[in-house]
Structure 1
Amino acid sequence: MNITMSILYSLSILTLLIAGYYFLGYRSQKKEWNQKVKKWFPEEERKSFISKWGDRFDERESSQALRDKLHNANLKLLPSEYLGILIVGYMTLFVMMYSIFSMPFNLSLLLPIGILFIANYLLFYFRKNSYEARFNEQLSEVCRILGNAARSGLTVNQGIDIVAREIDGPAGVEFKRISNELKMGVTLEHAFKSIQKRNKSRDFNLFIATLLIQKKTGGNLALTLETMANTFEDRKILNQIIKTMTSEQKYISFIVPALPVFLLLVMNNVIDGFIDPLWSGFGLIILFLFVGAIVLSFILIRKITNIKV
């Protein structure tokens, strides 16, 4: 009887251990399944009505032009986010002009619109090629990786796959897209042309032409890519030197127009009605001359410091 009880007790303990082992394994597998299901079928998170309005605005075709401008300016913002920044900026300027600088109500309503319009134009004007510039700065590293891949006996497609994994954005994103297209059977020339539509810089066109010619005619691809990498590196260093030498003048181009406007607003806050004569007949002439001189000084300083290599 005691032997039978001992055997049953041992079997119950063993069964309990086996059940616990399988239960823990089941929980681990269930966790992995849940993660896969969430990855394949992500649940839509609850959003506020402002976020939903922003999503609807971003999905419209009318916002595509603004999206392209933000992309070319290398600004990682959605059109709705950029529009929200403009609205907050307008409200801030209105409060500052009406409450702090004691300007008339109508002028406080209209002047921020003009300031934001000019700021919006200048932002996209000075950063219109920012995405291409950031892309071109990475071309030397791209050429070195492709050259090392060719020197190791790898094909151009395999080298592009390495570039897609090793290089950060924006070049890494574009080459990852090229790599995916090549894996789907798209030709190298067609894949490069699709990227060329978004990046029409001279350096990238030279890189594409050299790579395609070398692939068709043969030759020492590794040596050609190494020479291109050195050329791009020297050009990047020269551009950085020019940017450093002209940085002070570029800051002055913003300070010179902004300083008299700021002083005018401060004086209007100190002395009541200081800018009222500007709205008279002769005052409007002086105001137009003042604004024209500010714009002209800004353009001249920017033209002097705009040195292209």
Structure 2
Amino acid sequence: MEISVLFGASFLMLIWGIYNYLGFRKEKREVKKKFEQLFRRKNERKSFIAKIGDRFDQTEYAGEFKKKLMYANIALLPSEFFAILLFSAFTLTILLFGFFSVPVLYSIVISSVICLFVYWMIFLVRRNKYIDKLNNQLSEVCRLLGNGTKAGMTIIQGLEVVAAEIDSPARGEFKTLTQNIRLGVDFERALKEMEKRVPTREYKLFISALLIQKRAGGNLTKVLHEMAHTLEERKILRQTIKTATAEQRFISYILPAMPIFLLFMLNSIMDGFLELIFTVPGAILMIIFIIGMAIALLLVRAVTNIKV
């Protein structure tokens, strides 16, 4: 019992240390980015692992994967994401072997499968987080632009104020828009390109309002403030629905994990219990369990994914 408590405390301390290290890495990266122009050094030495990560981040696959991380709203480099995934698999392997008495080969296989499942779930659950965050910021964008036009600014000047004041990720999109306009791209064409980058109903409505005002005129300030009010109400409604369905979503994640945890606990109590899974009847039952779990997750997600 004492060994189990010590092992659990050590594992929690390891997780706490990893969390603090990642926070330190983030702060270090921000400070370095802020002052690198003032204290730039030539031939600065870097660690061997960092060089491998930088080289990987420059590959074509990493470039495509970076877009995937961006749309999932995960603020990590591809090398950092895969490093965390590999480290999690390694830690899980040690945990299964040391705490639950699972054989080494089985621990490696189970850890790999769990990490692949987590990888799939991350991008399934967070595949629209970037777009959702942009939609949530649109009400603030409309309010800032409306206040700018009310103060006598032109639309382009108001968009520059939005690009300077709004937080990420909307800041990047509006900076791209204003930079294109400064480089001589037609205003309508720049807005159409933005509509292609953010193909949502909210942004289509916002861009249509700007184009109509540019062509025909009208009280743009009133339209933008009304749009901001409507978008705020939609945001509140979406949050209410998300809160109401939170219990069902979390139960759907917890229930499949409970039999797996009990399986490992029984294996630590009864030697060789896990080997029953690798028999023909055990493999059939495991396949049925995995299929049923996947169907349950998809059904719960379909029921709780209420579009407003």
Shift of 1:38: 7.0
* CA distance in 1: counterparts of 2:279 and 2:170, whole angstroms: 56
Do 1:257 and 1:295's aligned partners in 2 also have CA atoms closer than 8 Å? no
Q: Which amino acid aligns with 2:165?
A: E
Unaligned runs of 5+ in 2: 1-34
Matches within 5 A, 1:154-173: 154-173=153-172
Q: Deviations over 1:79-106 (max 9, x none)?
A: 1111111110110111112222112222
CA distance in 2, matches of 1:236, 1:213: 25
Which residue does the alignment assign to 1:289? 288
SS of 1:145's equivalent in the other structure is helix
Alignment of structure 1 residues 66-145 onto 2, 5 Å: 66-145=65-144
Residues 29-66 of structure 1: CA distance to partner in whole angstroms, max 9, x if unpaired? Answer: xxxxxxxx973893354211111111111111121221
In 2, Cα distance between equivalents of 1:290 and 1:215: 58
**Structure 1: unaligned runs, 5 residues or longer:** 1-36
Give the structure 1 partner of residue 302 of structure 2.
303
Separation in 2, partners of 1:198, 1:81: 26
Q: Which amino acid in structure 1 is aligned with residue 230 of structure 2?
A: T
Alignment of 1:193-272 (within 5 A): 193-272=192-271
| Aligned-partner Cα distance in 1 for 2:253–2:304 | 13
* Deviation (angstroms), 1:129: 0.8
| Aligned alpha-carbon RMSD (Å) | 1.9
Moved more, 37-46 or 269-278: 37-46
Q: Deviations over 1:229-277 (max 9, x none)?
A: 1111111010010111111111111101111111111111111122222
- Using a 3 Å threshold, how does the CA distance of structure 1 residues 79 and 107 change in structure 2: closer, same or farther? same
Q: Which amino acid is 1:50 matched to?
A: I
- Counterpart of 2:185? 186
Instruction: Report how far residue 183 of structure 1 moved.
Output: 2.4
Structure whose CA Rg is larger: 1
Q: Report which stretch shifted further, 287-296 or 162-171.
A: 287-296
Distance 1:39 1:286, change over 3 A: closer
2: CA distance, partners of 1:283 / 1:185? 66
Q: Write the letter of the residue equivalent to 2:234.
A: R
1:256–1:298: 8 Å Cα contact kept in structure 2? Answer: no
Residue 225 of structure 1 deviates from its aligned partner by 1.0
SS of 1:147 mapped into structure 2 = helix
How many residue pairs were aligned?
273
Q: 1:43 — aligned with what?
A: 41
Q: Distance in 1 between matches of 2:195 and 2:61?
A: 24
Residue of structure 2 in register with 1:62 after alignment: 61
**Structure 2 counterpart of 1:181, which letter?**
N
2:6 matched to which residue of 1? none
Question: d(CA) in 2 for partners of 1:304 and 1:38?
Answer: 49
| C-alpha deviation, 1:291, in angstroms | 2.1
Give the partner amino acid of 1:177. Answer: T
Amino acid at match of 2:258: L
Q: CA deviation at 1:182?
A: 2.2
